[in-house]
Amino acid sequence: MGFYQVADLNAAQCQFLTDTALKASGVNVDPDKRDFLHLRISRRLKALGLDSFDDYIGILKREPGGPETRHLVEALTTHTTSFFREGHQYEWFEQEGIKRLLTSQPESAGKLTVWSAACSTGVELWSAGMVLMDRQRQAFDLRDFALIGTDISQKILKTAHSATYSTNEITGVSPLRKQRYLMQSKRTFGASDQHYHRVIPELRQKARFEQINLSALGSARPFTVDVAFLRNVLIYFGEEMQKQVLDGVISRLRPGGILFTGHSEAVPKRDDLDTLGPSIYEKV
């Protein structure tokens, strides 16, 4: 395969590209990160067979908010995630959180709804689902649960919906949970004989996935949840947008509901949240 030479990216082009992504998604990339922008966006030029950023910008200008804008946002974000990431939050959820949620709203009749607000490949949501299914095996207080996964990326939502992962992607799942909640394909792939592993139908049927742009949450259909995971996505937004997104997510939590954020994402002190643990909050 030949080396694909893409022209330089100048300051005005960087500004246009970052402004376009910001307007479409709230994703706030510093226009001075020219090497980063060049690396990420030149892949789009290659895919489209273009050799100049002006031609690429021409496409974005011809169809404002169109499919290429979605590709641009996709190129500037990452989907890094893993099962049981920041494991102490799941341990807290299992040992304390579920009981707390069920007793703080007895009229919910033992039903909980969990939302993963930037769900990427879905593994954050399936991890919560596994904890909830474990609970149903051990106690009778959790009658039912529903899982909602949302993300801005249609592409990644397809992966989440398929609920199928390679052996490398499921290393965070304990052997017992693998046995209970994942089905292994007979077929192998890759040099290291990886298998595919699919979430069992009983868990899949609890979940629905949909595209929601957190920077335009106000225009998404309304729903209320008991638990919201808002992890490793606030980092993409500027200060004002972070507050707007937090306001929007918290408004969809019922009083007594739990919010999990990423470890690197400090939530400023707010009157509507009590801190229960590191990156664990309760809506007052």
Ligand X SMILES: C[S@@+](CC[C@H](N)C(=O)[O-])C[C@H]1O[C@@H](n2cnc3c(N)ncnc32)[C@H](O)[C@@H]1O
Q: Which residues bind ligand X (CB under 6 A)?
A: 25-27, 77-81, 85, 118, 120, 124, 151-153, 156, 213-215, 231-233, 236, 262
Give Dmax (Cα) for the chain: 64
CB 276 → ligand X: shortest distance, Å? 19
CB 233 → ligand X: shortest distance, Å? 4
Give CA–CA dist 134/132, Å, rounded.
5
Q: Are 74 and 115 in contact (CB under 8 A)?
A: no
CB 183 → ligand X: shortest distance, Å? 23
Q: Which is nearer to ligand X, 209 or 236 (CB)?
A: 236
Q: Which is nearer to ligand X, 13 or 153 (CB)?
A: 153
Q: Give whole-number Cα distances, 246 to 77, 241, 284, in Å.
A: 19, 8, 14
Give CA–CA dist 4/76, Å, rounded.
20
Q: Give the pair of three-digit tokens for residue 126.
A: 């399936």
What number of other Cβ atoms are within 10 A of residue 146's Cβ?
Answer: 17
Q: Which is nearer to ligand X, 201 or 238 (CB)?
A: 238
Q: Give the pair of three-digit tokens for residue 209.
A: 């996935």
Q: Which is nearer to ligand X, 181 or 229 (CB)?
A: 229
Q: Which is nearer to ligand X, 116 or 142 (CB)?
A: 116
Q: Which is nearer to ligand X, 18 or 25 (CB)?
A: 25
CB 141 → ligand X: shortest distance, Å? 27
CB 113 → ligand X: shortest distance, Å? 17
- Residue 85, CB-side half-sphere exposure with 13 Å CA sphere: 24
Give CA–CA dist 151/56, Å, rounded.
25
CB 17 → ligand X: shortest distance, Å? 16
Q: Are 166 and 159 in contact (CB under 8 A)?
A: no
Give CA–CA dist 228/27, Å, rounded.
20
CB 279 → ligand X: shortest distance, Å? 11
CB 124 → ligand X: shortest distance, Å? 5
Q: Which is nearer to ligand X, 85 or 206 (CB)?
A: 85
Q: Which is nearer to ligand X, 25 or 113 (CB)?
A: 25
- H/E stretch holding 253: strand 253-261
Helix intervals (H) in the chain = 11-25, 34-48, 53-62, 67-76, 87-92, 98-104, 123-138, 154-162, 175-181, 201-204, 239-251
